[in-house]
Structure formats: structure tokens, C-alpha cells
Amino acid sequence: MDTHVTDAPAVPSSAAAAQTPWLSTREQQFWRAHLEVSKLLEYQLSRELQPHNLAINDYEILVVLSEAPERRMRMTDLATATLQSKSRLSHQITRMEGAGLVLRQECPGDRRGLYAHLTEQGWDMLQQVAPDHVRSVRRHFVDRFTPEQIDALYEALSPVAEHLRALRGRS
């Protein structure tokens, strides 16, 4: 994606457009750089998980389940935690079940509820892959910043994340 932005952004001419607080050139550069970094980073991390036969979403599910009590979580909560639809998560869990990484288990007292449970094989896979993944995160992201930049970025992004989590809680 080209992050170059001209000095005069194209602005639609309509009544609604006239009321829109358009991004300045600098704001557009910032926004587009954020989008590009997010997409490229996810792409690169995904590529580096492929030799382990994992997608980035698989890895995220393994991590979330590993941090949950008893290494299991209700499917609805897992969908929320991983920002996936219940349907998409169900397909992904089916694939991961086939690989022996997770199991679906019934929730006691709730005939319709299901847990996703991290298997020993899934736990072993996570322990095997995590060092490579962390090295990738460092190489492609964390080590690109000074400690002061990391602090500043964390301070800048935390309120945005908090705002978006709050909006998601209302939906």
C-alpha cells in the first residue's frame, strides 16, 4: 500500500461532505501508515507461523485458551476475546480440533453451551511455537522502537483501545 498522500486530498462535493472534518495531510499519512503497518505486520507474522501449520488466528486462540482457567473458555467468550463471529470461530475450532489442538466440551448445566479446551497437543504446540513467534514480534515490531517510543505509543494507543472496547461492550 502506498502511504504517499498529496497536499490536496480529494474531497467529495456534497452537503454531507461540507460538514465532514476531513483529515489533514499529516493525519492521512498517520492513518494510512497505521493501516499499512497493521496489515503488513499481520501478514509477516502469519507467514512465519506457516511452517508450524498455524494461522495467526490459530495462534491467538492457543494463547487465549492457555491463559484461561483450566485452559478452556466458553465458545461465545472466545469469539468475543478473539473478535470473531461465532460462526467463523466454530469453523476454525473444527479445523483445530481436526489437528488435535483443541476439543469442544459441553458446558455442565447448559445443553447449548460449549467450551473450547486446549489439549495437551495444543499446549505442546504453543510451547514449541511461542519462542519463534516472540522473536518475530521483536524483530518486526518491538525492536524497531526505543523504550521511550514504546512508552509513548502505549500511552497514545491505550485510550483508543479502551474507547473501542467500551463501544464493543455496548453492541
Tell whether the model's pLDDT for residue 171 goes beyond 50: no
Among the residue ranges 5-9, 65-69, 92-96, the one predicted with the least confidence is: 5-9
Distance CA 8, CA 15 (A): 19
Q: What percent of the chain has pLDDT over 90?
A: 80
What's the one-letter identity of residue 42?
E
Q: What is the pLDDT of residue 15?
A: 72
CB 91 within 8 A of CB 100: no
Of the chain, the end-to-end C-alpha distance in Å amounts to 31
Give the mean model confidence (pLDDT) for residues 136-156.
98
Give the mean model confidence (pLDDT) for residues 27-52.
97
Q: What percent of the chain has pLDDT over 70?
A: 91
pTM listed for this prediction: 0.84
